[in-house]
């Protein structure tokens, strides 16, 4: 590929959430052929694609396999923070990012452990919810409804203000504690930096709360949401002169990419590209 082809591309890095944005499990196919062909065409011209998801590696690979996807992401961001790069049919951990991510999470989780019994007791006294620990967080939650999740989310956000660098990540009725400096946005920034790019040539699209950190003009000039996005995501995208598709899921992703490639971004000065810097 000639370097000129890459230089001519308006979008050089594509960051898509997975569930609810790129992938709709009960649609046939779950990722539309038109979107796969569009991404493949851009990759052929030198663009890079990252799936930026809350899933772990095994769940993501299983879903991609079931969907019979014909394209491979150049990077995957897992559990909203770990970065892996595609090399020779495998995904290789990106260092030192992943090691530093694990170290930082271990430190912040150690500070919250004495308070976990009190937090769990408060939730159990008011809601029917499933609370558990996994290898990514000592506190994971599945609320009984989105209404319950909203109330619990606000309580957890208040608690996070008492622990430096602690945050809570939420998607639908699911939530877990995490480190504030490692999220979909900062992971996207690290990939952008590694590729020698800046936010001016980055596209980011998502549909739910855990996508908000990357749906920010600091990390991507071209921001988008599908028609099925929750209202806070739609509002955040529109507030930053982004694009909300009239189509849902993968069809909406294809529509948004084509919109920006066509140059219908409006006044190019309305979204000011920001330099990408390390967050650690």
For range 86-114, the mean pLDDT: 97
Is 23 in contact with 30 (CB distance < 8 Å)?
A: yes
pTM over 0.85: yes
Banded pLDDT at 7 (limits 50, 70, 90): low
Name the residue ranges covered by the structural domains of the chain: 3-80+183-261, 98-179
Distance of CA 143 to the CA centre of its chain: 21
pLDDT digits (tens, 9 = 90+) for 108-156: 999 999 999 999 999 999 999 999 999 999 999 999 999 999 999 999 9
d(CA 46, CA 96) in angstroms, rounded, equals: 25
The DSSP H or E segment spanning 146 is helix 146-160
CATH class (in words) of the domain with range 3-80+183-261 = alpha beta
């Amino acid at each position: 590929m000639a370097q000129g082809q890459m230089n001519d591309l308006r979008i050089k890095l594509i960051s898509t959430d997975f569930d609810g944005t790129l992938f709709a499990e009960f649609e046939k196919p779950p990722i539309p052929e038109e979107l796969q062909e569009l991404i493949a065409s851009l990759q052929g011209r030198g663009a890079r694609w990252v799936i930026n998801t809350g899933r772990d590696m095994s769940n993501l690979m299983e879903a991609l396999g079931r969907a019979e996807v014909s394209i491979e992401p150049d990077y995957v961001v897992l559990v909203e923070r770990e970065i892996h790069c595609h090399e020779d049919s495998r995904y290789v951990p990106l260092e030192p990012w992943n090691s530093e991510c694990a170290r930082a999470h271990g430190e912040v989780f150690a500070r919250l452990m004495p308070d976990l019994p009190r937090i769990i007791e408060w939730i159990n006294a008011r809601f029917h919810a499933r609370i558990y620990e996994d290898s990514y967080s000592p506190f994971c939650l599945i609320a009984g409804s989105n209404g319950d999740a909203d109330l619990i989310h606000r309580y957890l956000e208040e608690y996070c203000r008492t622990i430096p660098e602690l945050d809570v990540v939420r998607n639908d009725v699911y939530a877990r504690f995490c480190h504030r400096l490692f999220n979909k946005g900062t992971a996207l920034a690290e990939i952008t930096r590694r590729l020698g790019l800046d936010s001016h040539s980055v596209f980011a699209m998502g549909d739910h709360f855990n996508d908000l950190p990357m749906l920010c003009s600091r990390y991507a000039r071209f921001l988008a949401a599908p028609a099925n996005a929750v209202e806070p995501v739609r509002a955040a995208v529109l507030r930053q002169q982004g694009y909300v598709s009239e189509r849902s899921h993968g069809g909406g992703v294809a529509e948004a990419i084509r919109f920006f490639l066509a140059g219908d971004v409006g006044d190019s000065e309305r979204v000011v590209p920001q330099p990408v810097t390390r967050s650690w």
